[in-house]
Structure 1
Amino acid sequence: MDAGADEITRLGAVQVSGLIRNREISCKEVVAAYLNQIDRLNPAVNAIVARVDSESLMRQAESLDCELSRGHWRGPLHGLPQAPKDVMPVKGMVTTRGSSIYAQNLGASDAIVFERMRSGGAVFVGRTNCPELSLGGNTKNSVYGTTRNAFDPKLSAGGSSGGAAVAVAMRMLPVADGTDMMGSLRTPAAFNHVYGFRPTFGCIPHGPTEDAFFQQFSVAGPMARNIPDLSMLFGVLAGQDARVPLSRNLSPDQNALESHNLGTLRIGWLGNFSGHLPVDPQVLATCGTALENLKTIGCSLDEVTPSFDYSSLWKAWLDLRSFGVAGANMALYQDKQKRKLLMEDACWEIERGMQLTGLQIYEASKVRTAWYQTLRELFNRFDFLVMPAAQVLPFDVDYDWPTRVGGRVMETYHQWLEAAIPATMAGLPALAAPAGLSTTGLPVGIQIIGAPGQDFSVLQLGHAYDKAGRYSTRLSQCLPF
């Protein structure tokens, strides 16, 4: 197959992987095509940083072609370019976490997800950009600068996996990894019209890290332009690892995406939680239109608001998050020279966490448990819950964060990301899926939330939803084809 760069990058990851495996296209051709795409499009959006030199990458691709010629296929990532998010370590690459403090932080080993990607034949072409310490929902930092939206470079890419979302949307990567604590996969997916999946906690081992037990919020997950591609990467990343004691075995059966009969599914529409959650009216309107696709595939739809004290849920989230952020970054704060290099919001979060008591954390955990039980009972009535993936439209990239949402003042730098909390606090699988464009032409995302461990069921519904709405066929007008 003699394919040009545009022709290769137009294809889905599953398609390219199949062509490589059947030796209809070489790893060198694929890597060259994506490098060409990066070199011509990345300067406008700054999604991929720390670009590896082409000569080294082509040698890796040639070596992978030689393996294929000997009959050795490593798996679906064999020969596919990847750019690990700049937040977890990669052997031989600098991991800055978006902070100048870590500008010379050369990795001695791979995080588990990158270990799996590398052993599966991925070619690491660089890193994807993230905010400082992956805090906040706007991808900008003092090391690599600002990542810009794939649909309008004047707007925010979201975060913290903003670089990954833009790289996928602009077809500079076939698929990408990200992480998600407070919507870090889901918000940028919504902002850039791609799919981002936060799996059930533990099914993709996150780490290894110095804390293997308390940290139960941040997870690694896949991003892609369609569900088959997303499922493919999920299958590579998922699975128990003894180094992560809370990890579990939960791998998808990709062949079941098409063959599964969904039947009549009961969908609970959470919306804005009867006004508890501030949401831009355009977001709600666009999501409302997207819900029709669920009806088209045979789902029943009912609006529901769980009975809960939402102010206590927000307070519990603040305490648990601040406690975790402080624990992970307190050493930076206590070093006066390094503290000067931290952004103001990071210092605020660390200081807040340092002031919390053990009893306050215990009380927050009780609220979290009550929320989990509330949703567990709700899943007796509904198969899935649906709500907006992001509360706002992509905003001016020069703003740090929205100060008002739906007429309500945001009291913290991350309150506008509150839509991420329901799934995160309960440890549930949540898929951010495109919902279409607003009346002003900006991407909007919807969030499909499943019961604990029902990750692949979420992807099956997401696939049927995408086929009904044909969202994965809509491209950014910034693409040259």
Structure 2
Amino acid sequence: MSDNRNVTAPHYLTATEMAHLVKTRQVSAVELLQAHLDRIEQVNPQVNAIVTLVAEQALKAGEAGDAGEATGPLHGVPVAHKDLVDTKGIRTTYGSPLYADHVPDKDDVIVERLRAAGAILVGKTNTPEFGTGSHTVNEVFGATRNPYDLTRSAGGSSGGAAAALATGMVPLAGGSDMGGSLRNPASFCNVVGLRPTPGRVPALSEQAAWYTLSVPGPMARTVDDLTLMMSVISGFDARSPYSITEDFTPDERDVAGLRVAWSPDLGGLPVDPGTAAVTATAPGVFERLGARVEQVELDLSDAEDAFRVYRAWYYALAFGELDGLGANTSWNVEQGRKVTGADLARAERSRSGLYHRMAAFFDTYDVLIAPVSQVPPFPVEDPYVSEINGVRLPDYLAWMRSAYWISVLHAPAASVPAGFTPSGLPVGVQIIGRPFADATVLRAARAFEQATGHGLRRPPL
């Protein structure tokens, strides 16, 4: 049964609505912040989504905002940042005991841009150590629980962000995505998230400036809010060598005539029957909206080796000199130490070939739709999914293939609520576009969202 008791509460307004109310002085920034701080106090102990709260600092920012003129399109709107993202003067642990008391002296670019747009930071959201894995649990703060079923995982590694959004603690949250870290928790928590084309939202790194598998991106409760946040955080930054110079322009057309490819399993991946049943309803939605839908056979298997090689290489580069890492991070570092030049050459050939094959694919289709995750939210005590639909998996990464195979494509991909299993667990559909076609992905996501209304179903907290 749908639980919409809090739909019209202040903390469940959209970010777009909140910004309008503050701008027109129908609501003060302080009043809006207080409503969210009250909500955090009410529900955060149950889900453990926000792990560092800066209420006093936020209220001071709200008071300053109310005393002056609007500073940007998000003036007075509360926002939370993932605990992987540097926030000046605010504890940032990266989910690791090694950084439990770390306080950065500068803001990440996404933080800079949201501050400049008038958004007010209320806190940091939980993440696994260094964002490793799609289950949000770490030794510093513990596990984030799924607000639709507190015995289940909120996904990861942006699980704290997704749970905070779903429960009305914030209307916007920053996420990041290497192998599904933004899309998976959006799917698990019935919110929306966009993995942008690499470079659309600049990613800054002093160690791996050219690394394109991991990207920052927006998370929200509605696609319109995703689009609003993208308009703020996207754009060229010379500190990122592959930053896109083209401005992000929303596409507000309907989807009549859109060419939609549908893959129920991305070429033979095992999918949980509950997830499969929900995502199988997505093609019909697009057909009713006037899109041309065709089920396709895909071979994305080259993405497996390419993703694992590049991920392993990155972990050895980024974390190989640290002692005291957790089990998952250590395993990735050890895999990275085994990577050879021949491995990298093979991965680059595979990824290049896949890029060109998919370019030809997107000459025929505008978007590809598929499951975000191969399973619904799993028990929070489980470290990862070890079996799907009777198929045993080799390691803790393998259950995320439906997300990380897409990461290799250099393509934008959104997660949008697609429905619920019979037991009430959220399931998302993944909408994938050609590289640089972020606006087309959001156009399709918005149409699907508005046609179904699944994102309006709130958790029973």
Q: Which category describes the TM-score, using the shorter chain as reference length?
A: over 0.9
**Which structure 2 residues correspond to residues 329-348 of structure 1 after superposition, within 5 A?**
329-332=319-322, 338-339=323-324, 342-348=325-331
C-alpha displacement of 1:104: 2.0
Q: Hey, what does 1:476 align to over in structure 2? A: 459
**Which structure 2 residues correspond to residues 240-259 of structure 1 after superposition, within 5 A?**
240-254=236-250, 256-257=251-252
Q: Structure 1 CA distance, aligned partners of 2:89 and 2:187?
A: 32
Asked if the contact 2:267–2:299 (Cα under 8 Å) also holds between the matched residues in 1, the reply is no
Q: TM-score, normalized by length of structure 1?
A: 0.92
C-alpha displacement of 1:306: 2.6
**Which structure 2 residues correspond to residues 376-395 of structure 1 after superposition, within 5 A?**
376-395=359-378
Q: Hey, what does 1:225 align to over in structure 2? A: 221
C-alpha displacement of 1:32: 0.6
**Which structure 2 residues correspond to residues 44-443 of structure 1 after superposition, within 5 A?**
44-52=46-54, 54-68=55-69, 73-213=70-210, 215-254=211-250, 256-257=251-252, 260-275=253-268, 277-307=269-299, 310=301, 312-332=302-322, 338-339=323-324, 342-443=325-426
Q: Structure 1 CA distance, aligned partners of 2:422 and 2:9?
A: 31
Does the alignment pair 1:29 with 2:31? yes
Q: How many pairs are equivalent?
A: 456
Q: Structure 1 CA distance, aligned partners of 2:247 and 2:49?
A: 29
Q: Hey, what does 1:13 align to over in structure 2? A: 15
Moved beyond 4 Å, runs of 4+: none
Change (3 A) 1:121 1:93: same
Amino acid at match of 1:231: T
C-alpha displacement of 1:373: 1.1
Asked if the contact 1:128–1:164 (Cα under 8 Å) also holds between the matched residues in 2, the reply is yes
Query: Residue deviations 1:79-101, cap 9 Å, x none?
Result: 11112100021100121110000
Q: Structure 2 CA distance, aligned partners of 1:74 and 1:137?
A: 36
RMSD, matched Cα: 1.6
Amino acid at match of 1:59: K
Q: Structure 2 CA distance, aligned partners of 1:127 and 1:274?
A: 37
Gaps of 5+ in 2: 1-5
Determine helix, strand or coil for the equivalent of 2:81: coil
Q: Structure 1 CA distance, aligned partners of 2:343 and 2:264?
A: 30
Asked if the contact 2:261–2:296 (Cα under 8 Å) also holds between the matched residues in 1, the reply is yes
Amino acid at match of 1:278: P
Asked if the contact 1:165–1:223 (Cα under 8 Å) also holds between the matched residues in 2, the reply is yes
Amino acid at match of 1:155: R
C-alpha displacement of 1:307: 4.2
Asked if the contact 2:196–2:411 (Cα under 8 Å) also holds between the matched residues in 1, the reply is yes
Amino acid at match of 1:272: D
Amino acid at match of 1:402: V
Q: Hey, what does 2:3 align to over in structure 1? A: none
Q: TM-score, normalized by length of structure 2?
A: 0.96
Q: Structure 2 CA distance, aligned partners of 1:456 and 1:307?
A: 26
Q: Structure 2 CA distance, aligned partners of 1:176 and 1:9?
A: 14
Identity across the alignment (%): 37
More strand by share: 2
Q: Structure 2 CA distance, aligned partners of 1:413 and 1:117?
A: 34
Amino acid at match of 1:200: T
Asked if the contact 2:266–2:402 (Cα under 8 Å) also holds between the matched residues in 1, the reply is no
Amino acid at match of 1:221: G
Query: Residue deviations 1:183-242, cap 9 Å, x none?
Result: 0010000000110100001010012432211x1100011111111111111111100101
Q: Structure 2 CA distance, aligned partners of 1:55 and 1:222?
A: 25
Structure 1, 406-415 or 427-436: larger mean CA deviation: 406-415
